[in-house]
Structure 1
């Protein structure tokens, strides 16, 4: 499906089709950006139109990098001023060695939906997913390793960020790893409840008890699951682990800024797996993730 620059037609929730993943990504990326922009009392209502003046993109990048932008037009009224702001965004990304291809300032200003989603994913991949490193493994693979180290005491393993998460079990088990008292009998709970109930429970507990907004809805993980949206949502959980008092420091994912510390301590998550199994003994049979 070719991208329509004006993106006036609302994508429909047709599971398995382009329209569905576009809708899921748009919602997830919007909520992700708003979780940062709230610090500046800014909000994105429509991802395809609200980035057009460059202001929210500038704020987002400043918040992600702690690097202030030089002077820019803070009240852009004319197209030329909006394009200048957007050009600064792309110039900033180039200096950060973030590769952005086949998209320009006019695409953002004109509301090209698919290209805007592509830009947002590039930013998320670089500054959120790409900043995670565990045992020398970074990015998506590092996040997957981190999840599996936390899920290991419950004899649960995930191998992807799509089908393995659709039944909600992995999310519920992560809630248990984060705060066992919230789901003390998590194995029995997941056995007795549906996928939609498991997902709704995990998302609501995370938001209610740790102020981590859910980027996804249970419906978003039914049918064909969008990997980028699940990755974006799962990275939000790392902040909860960093703030949880009972979780040992080794259980929090390192960012690339922490690599010198990692090299000195040589912490091995694999070696700590048996210890976690003693601290959090699993009950019931071994669970296999959904592959359908």
Structure 2
């Protein structure tokens, strides 16, 4: 009885995670299309990727590389050709076991979700790295997933009731998302207005602020995240949007600090140059004065005065 219950629970969890990935990955693809303003949008992840055209366009946009034009025919052979091109492009960059073009054309749900996850890992999440000055020398030894987790932990460390230990249930109450936003933009969200016993309220508020104020596309529904064990891949994909947005903000602030330092150094250099020029001017005046005195021929007649003049000359020579 217990075994049957556990198997049923596992199946329900798998179904829940599959639905969450379908929604998240569809929204992620559409966010790429929307950002690039190509006029494309998909509604069904499986049927609309089957011809390979949307998949090739996605790879072009996210990689920044030009791919050969897709076949526009509507026969299966054309779909297979486009899907083969997409897989060949990907396999040149990252291992993709198991899946073949026929799996894409036939709408194999498990393999297509795995393929999109590989694309997200390769082109969005793999670029995540931590600043060694801020996170220490060991930051360069972390995997991408570990680096993203450490970044989240570091940014939310001082917030009450937030404990980020994974990319699943740690985010269910919404406090983690609220803390990330507040840590970087405290003007946008009152963290103290969030409460752990109101997860849907917290998630809706954080997602709305992130999308409307920061331009972070809402990939997830609050109800999916508030589940006891939300899908890890979906959470990672969405959290990576926060990382990239706030990293760009941090880089901009770093550039500003460096420019301010350069301007301060320039001002200091100008002040030193002005001091140097004044010293040179004073030195030239002093030299001219001494030359005039040495060139003078009006020597005193009295012996004491002559001795004082010789003493002054001796002091000048030393």
Give TM-score, length-normalised by structure 1.
0.74
Q: Is the 8 A contact 1:16 1:223 kept in 2?
A: no
Query: How far is the alpha carbon of 1:146 from its aligned partner?
Result: 1.2
Partner of 1:183: 189
Structure 2: segments with no counterpart, 5+ residues? 1-9, 131-138, 256-318
Query: How far is the alpha carbon of 1:245 from its aligned partner?
Result: 7.6
Q: Is the 8 A contact 2:21 2:233 kept in 1?
A: yes
- Higher relative contact order, structure no. (Cα contacts within 8 Å, ≥ 6 residues apart): 1
Partner of 1:120: 116
Partner of 2:174: 168
Q: Is the alpha carbon distance of 1:177 and 1:153 closer, same or farther for their aligned partners in structure 2, counting shifts above 3 Å?
A: same
Partner of 2:243: 238
**What number of residue pairs does the alignment pair up?**
233
Give TM-score, length-normalised by structure 2.
0.69
Query: How far is the alpha carbon of 1:242 from its aligned partner?
Result: 3.9
Larger radius of gyration: 2
Q: Aligned runs of 1:13-28 on 2, under 5 Å?
A: 16-28=12-24
Partner of 2:73: 76
- Verify: 1:99 aligned to 2:95, yes or no: yes
Q: Is the 8 A contact 1:144 1:160 kept in 2?
A: yes
Query: How far is the alpha carbon of 1:162 from its aligned partner?
Result: 0.7
Q: Is the 8 A contact 1:30 1:44 kept in 2?
A: yes
Query: How far is the alpha carbon of 1:138 from its aligned partner?
Result: 3.8
Q: Is the alpha carbon distance of 1:192 and 1:231 closer, same or farther for their aligned partners in structure 2, counting shifts above 3 Å?
A: closer
1:41-62 Cα shifts (integer Å, max 9, x gaps)? 1111100101011111111111
2:158 aligned residue (150, 153, 156): 153
Q: Is the 8 A contact 2:175 2:196 kept in 1?
A: no
Query: How far is the alpha carbon of 1:157 from its aligned partner?
Result: 3.7
Partner of 1:208: 212
Q: Is the 8 A contact 1:37 1:56 kept in 2?
A: no
What is the distance in 2 between the residues matched to 1:162 and 1:87?
Answer: 34
What is the distance in 2 between the residues matched to 1:82 and 1:125?
Answer: 25
Query: How far is the alpha carbon of 1:109 from its aligned partner?
Result: 0.7
Q: Is the 8 A contact 1:54 1:85 kept in 2?
A: yes
Worse-matched range after superposition: 155-164 or 213-222: 155-164
What CA RMSD, in Å, does the superposition of the two structures yield over aligned residues? 2.2
Structure 1: segments with no counterpart, 5+ residues? 1-13, 251-292
3-state SS in 2 of match to 1:133: coil
1:31 aligned residue (27, 31, 39): 27
Worse-matched range after superposition: 154-163 or 236-245: 236-245
Q: Is the 8 A contact 1:131 1:138 kept in 2?
A: no
Query: How far is the alpha carbon of 1:153 from its aligned partner?
Result: 3.4
Q: Is the 8 A contact 1:52 1:111 kept in 2?
A: yes
2:229 aligned residue (224, 227, 239): 224
Query: How far is the alpha carbon of 1:213 from its aligned partner?
Result: 1.0
